[in-house]
Structure 1
Amino acid sequence: MTDYGHDLWFGSFVTPVAQPPGAPVEAAVLSERAGLDLVSFQDHPYQAAFGDTWTLMSWAAARTERIRISGNVLSLPLRPPAVLARAAATLDRLSGGRVEMGIGAGAFWDGIAAMGGTRLEPGQAVRALEEAIAVLRGLWATDEPGRLTVEGEFHPVSGVRRGPAPAHPIPINIGAYKPRMLRLIGRAADGWLPSLGYLPDGPSSLAAMNELIDDAASAAGRDPAAVTRILNLNGTFGGGAGLFRGTPEVWAEQVADLALQYGMSGFVLASDDPGDLSRFGREVAPRAREIVAAERAA
């Protein structure tokens, strides 16, 4: 049983549909009204049916006031990290410190290659992501002396000027499942962002994956609790049995169990349905927080 003691927060995971073009942004507005803490967007630039995720994030930030904004997760092979660092810092400053960096090493390589991205082997993708983290953090670190140089195989930068600084320390959350990526998260990232549907053995997979992250964090001299654990999930409100099937009360109990047993503290609902988002923010979130607070107090 692992409970890192983090406050619970809740978000939405929106499909960046191109038609109608405003639908993903309206989902962001609704997410804020429902009391959710974050709105995130898929990033699949090779899908012609989808709009551009960064453009949607920017438009959503302009239409909202409080909610945090993130890709979920941004496709690194199609988003050069030096440019991404500038874009994220700029949007963070414009939005009053509401940007988070959800990023992945790459998937759907045929689509990535069709868009001009470089197809990488798994080990290469891990190294490329580690270099990208160094570039992102280095360009944001305007208090560091001199220009930034990262000698890399995939994302080298040489003598680039740092800045602009973001309005707040932008957390870097990584979507990953394999051991090498999980160890990278432990030593270098701020958060882990898996999806429930991709866990090989469902929630029980989280224990062993957490252990890999924790061991890597400790080996790097970090507190394992410094890594936030975030879960993308989906389900159905109403009848039925099983994980995230049933009433908001059932959902809240299951969220609380994942928090207390596996240390997950961010819960992001993959749905574009206004009713689902409203129930998740107005009913599931407050009840789950109550259950976790009561268990921790006991």
Structure 2
Amino acid sequence: MTDYGREPQFGVFATPNADNADHLMRVATLADERGLDLIGIQDHPYQRRFLDAWSLMAVLLARTERVRVFPDVASLPLRQPAVLAKAAASLDVLSGGRFELGLGAGAFWDAIGAMGGPKRSPREAADALIEAIAVIRAMWSDERSVRVDGEHYRLAGVRPGPAPAHPIGLWLGVLGPRLLGELGRSADGWVPSSSYVPPEKLADKHARIDEAATEAGRDPAAIQRIYNVLGTITGGESRGFLHGPPTQWIEELTGLVLEHGMDTFVLGTEGDDLAQFATFADEIVPAVRQAVDAARTR
């Protein structure tokens, strides 16, 4: 059993369909008004039906008042990291500290290549992500000028700024041992999806993060564990993990906190169903908070 003792947080995973922009605004309003913590936006610039994630996130932040927004996760090969860091800091300043940064090494390499991006091997993608973390941290620093020497990314005496309005969480959507280790050493959060990392696979990946964090002198509990939970909230019988009535969701999410080490849940549903998002916010979220508090008190 793994429980890092962090306060649970909750959000929604919104699909940036260009032909459904009005619905996206309704999703954001619901998340903001119902007290959810996060809105996650997938970043696939090569998907012709999708809006640009960064343009959309700016609008969502302008249309909301309290909910935080993050790319879930940003496509590094198509986002130069020094400029990405400046964009993230700018959104954070403009929103009063409501932006976090999810970052991935890249996927769908043929599509990335078709847009003029690099087609990297797994090792090259990992190298580039590690260099990008150093670049982003440098661009968020209060140093007069910064330098980073890398094979994929370099800074040569650039002056960083503006500073973010709050310590932006740098969250990595990574799965392999090497990058999980880097996450433990230098990042603030881990963003897996339930479809790729089911509960039975979480423990091994937590262990890799925690070992690297401890070796680097960091507290593993300081690293946020964000789970994209992709499923269906139903009014009937269970159809398996994350497909069932609210009582099942309450039990499963509580178990994910207390037994599997996750602390933040970003719900994705078919068609970004507003009724399911409302049930999640109104019924499931408060019940999970209460159940976690009760179990920890005992």
Which residue is equivalent to 1:228? Answer: 224
Contact 1:229 1:264 in 2 (8 A): yes
Q: CA deviation at 1:195?
A: 0.2
- Aligned counterparts of 1:89 and 1:190: Cα–Cα separation in 2: 16
Consecutive aligned runs of 4 or more in structure 1 exceeding 6 Å deviation: none
Equivalent position amino acid for 1:225 in 2: A
Which residue is equivalent to 1:30? Answer: 30
1:142-157 matches, within 5 Å, as 142=142, 144=143, 146-157=144-155
| Matched-pair identity in % | 51
Q: CA deviation at 1:245?
A: 2.2
- Aligned counterparts of 1:23 and 1:111: Cα–Cα separation in 2: 27
Give SS of 2:208's match: helix
Deviations 1:4-45 (A, max 9, x none): 000000001110001133332332122212221100111100
Equivalent position amino acid for 1:97 in 2: G
Q: Normalized against structure 1, the TM-score is what?
A: 0.96
Equivalent position amino acid for 1:297 in 2: T
Contact 1:244 1:251 in 2 (8 A): yes
Deviations 1:129-178 (A, max 9, x none): 11111111111112x3x301000111111100011001000000111111
Which residue is equivalent to 2:46? Answer: 46
Which residue is equivalent to 1:240? Answer: 237
Which residue is equivalent to 1:262? Answer: 260
1:1-298 matches, within 5 Å, as 1-142=1-142, 144=143, 146-199=144-197, 202-238=198-234, 239-241=236-238, 242-271=240-269, 272-298=272-298
Q: CA deviation at 1:96?
A: 0.5
Equivalent position amino acid for 1:223 in 2: D
What stretches of structure 1 of length at least 5 have no aligned partner? none
What stretches of structure 2 of length at least 5 have no aligned partner? none
- Aligned counterparts of 1:34 and 1:198: Cα–Cα separation in 2: 28
Contact 2:237 2:245 in 1 (8 A): no
- Aligned counterparts of 1:287 and 1:21: Cα–Cα separation in 2: 31
Q: CA deviation at 1:254?
A: 0.7
Equivalent position amino acid for 2:273 in 1: D
Contact 1:25 1:56 in 2 (8 A): no
Equivalent position amino acid for 1:185 in 2: L
Equivalent position amino acid for 2:11 in 1: G
Q: Normalized against structure 2, the TM-score is what?
A: 0.96
- Aligned counterparts of 2:128 and 2:276: Cα–Cα separation in 1: 37
Q: CA deviation at 1:209?
A: 0.6
Contact 1:34 1:277 in 2 (8 A): no
Contact 2:38 2:68 in 1 (8 A): yes
- Aligned counterparts of 2:26 and 2:108: Cα–Cα separation in 1: 28
Give SS of 1:120's match: coil
Q: CA deviation at 1:61?
A: 0.3
Q: CA deviation at 1:253?
A: 1.2
- Aligned counterparts of 2:81 and 2:26: Cα–Cα separation in 1: 28
Deviations 1:178-218 (A, max 9, x none): 1111111111110000000012xx21100001001001111
Equivalent position amino acid for 1:176 in 2: V
Contact 1:41 1:57 in 2 (8 A): yes
- Aligned counterparts of 1:224 and 1:109: Cα–Cα separation in 2: 32
Equivalenced residue count is: 294
Give SS of 1:12's match: strand
